[in-house]
Amino acid sequence: MQFSIIIPTLNESTSLADQLPQLLSGTDDPSRVEIIISDGGSTDDTLEQARRFPLQIVTGDLGRATQMNHGAQQASGDWLLFLHADTRLPADWMNLIEQCSAPWGRFDLQLSGQHWLLRVVETMMNWRSRLTSVATGDQVLFFRRDFFNQLQGFPAIPLMEDVAISKQARKLAKPACIRQPVISSSRRWEQHGILRTISLMWLIRFAYWIGIKPETLHRLYYPSNA
């Protein structure tokens, strides 16, 4: 059984420098894993960092959904994992996925920071995800290749693509919810304020639920890029 790890990047040089050595050294059998960097036009040395390692690089249009779909098109694995550049997989991730009977799933999330509010955030995110069968990209979505193809990939929207594909997938199969956590950077929470970030994320999820266009939500979430 083969695994393809697809990492969408945009100016993630620092994150990749930390992530890729850990990812490669933590794989018991590298011949069973391929890593694909799908870059959306980085202007730092993201690609130079990536070229230091035995992996595949694809480039294309900017947009996380577009980049992940592009990477998936180049993948050869039986399982496709979509990993953010600032997220770390648990050491036994391959065994955990192989034990899943479901055709898709995600991991529990642990945020890297130490603030007690982050423990509340991650607990609520994991609980909500288990209750609703909807996952976020930080939780590392994974799919059997044939199931992902059946879903026709991530919807081509600028934000909430993880929620959208989860809602499509749960109509066909309940996800595997692996309790062993991935560790995701808490940098956004710490830079913008934990309570402010919580409020913004809940606002965006509510707005998406009532039908506000993802393009509008993207401008709200990334005001500097508007």
Among residues of the chain, what percentage have pLDDT more than 90? 73
Contact 56, 38 (CB under 8 A): no
| Residue appearing with tokens 């992902």 | 148
**Full-prediction pTM beyond 0.85?**
yes
Could you report the per-residue pLDDT of 83-122, keeping only the tens digit for each? 999 999 998 999 999 999 999 999 999 999 999 999 999 9
Could you tell me the two tokens for 135?
A: 């996952």
Contacts with 109 (C-beta within 8 Å, 6 or more apart), sequence order: 122, 125, 126, 136, 138, 139, 181, 182, 184
Share of the chain residues as helix, strand and coil, in percent rounded to the nearest 5: 50, 20, 30
CATH architecture group of domain 3-225: Alpha-Beta Complex (3.90)
Domain ranges in the chain are: 3-225
